[in-house]
Amino acid sequence: MKELKAVIFDLDGTLIDSVDAHMASWTEALKKVGIKDDRGEVKRLVGMSARDISKALIPEGREEKRGELRLLKRRLYYEEFFPSRVVPFPDAVETLKQINDKGLKCAIASSIDSKKIRMIAQKFGFDRYIQAIVGADEVERGKPNPEIMLEASSKLGVIPESCIVVGDTAYDVAAGRAAGMITMAVVRETTVMEALIAQKPDWIVMNLSELMDVLRTVMP
């Protein structure tokens, strides 16, 4: 393992408790465009970009409907669900601070747009501890493709092998592994465990505070 230089965080479900709100907004948006989520596909897909989720939910050749779905979901989430239901996890800010205090850089690599990441980081006080942000609008291919993780390490000015990726979904772990990074899964109530374990993360923790325990074992 290379000397650790940075920690790259997913946002939704990792730093903020927002997955239920995302699932509710996707489900409501599907209803509004006349599609039922009978098989619970939304839960399985959360963690991917909105573009990729809409492709998975709506058959090929219906791009206009996919675009309508994405716009509806985005409006529902930010106007109806986000203000009342989304909060940071209790240990999020303190964990980011402690990581910086250890001389490590932090980044957020998320499947939402970078503008929204910055808004959320400022709202919840993450921004003072974050040295780089990468959103879905800055890459061609979203998670589980490694592009977003590689862009984050590039922005931080560190090599991929010196990074730990922290996320709550199989997509985060898969992207981190494909980028050649160490991976850590944070288990949440909404985590799809079978898919997560299949990706073989290097560590599995139950909260962000446990991340610091792991860092103490791998850093001098």
pLDDT at residue number 51? 92
CA 80/CA 74 separation, integer angstroms: 10
CA 194/CA 182 separation, integer angstroms: 20
Are 56 and 104 found together in one domain?
Answer: no
Task: Enumerate long-range contacts of 30-39, CB under 8 Å, 24 or more apart.
Answer: 30/57, 30/69, 32/72, 33/65, 33/68, 33/69, 33/72, 35/69
Give the end of a domain, one of 85, 116, 134: 85
pLDDT at residue number 220? 63
Percent over 90 (pLDDT), the chain:
85
pLDDT at residue number 43? 87
| Total number of domains constituting the chain | 2
Residues in the chain: 220
pLDDT at residue number 1? 61
Are 59 and 91 found together in one domain?
Answer: no
Are 110 and 79 found together in one domain?
Answer: no
CA 136/CA 110 separation, integer angstroms: 7
Are 61 and 113 found together in one domain?
Answer: no
- Domain extent, residue 208, equals 6-17+87-218
Are 12 and 104 found together in one domain?
Answer: yes
Are 69 and 148 found together in one domain?
Answer: no
CATH of the domain at 177: 3.40.50.1000
Nearest to 193 by CA among 218, 213, 168: 168
Are 48 and 91 found together in one domain?
Answer: no
The ranges of the chain with pLDDT < 50 are: none
CA 73/CA 48 separation, integer angstroms: 14
Are 13 and 24 found together in one domain?
Answer: no
Are 125 and 31 found together in one domain?
Answer: no
CA 166/CA 39 separation, integer angstroms: 28
Evaluate whether residue 1 is within a structural domain.
no
pLDDT tens per residue, range 25-54: 999 999 999 888 765 789 889 999 999 999
Are 66 and 143 found together in one domain?
Answer: no
pLDDT at residue number 62? 81
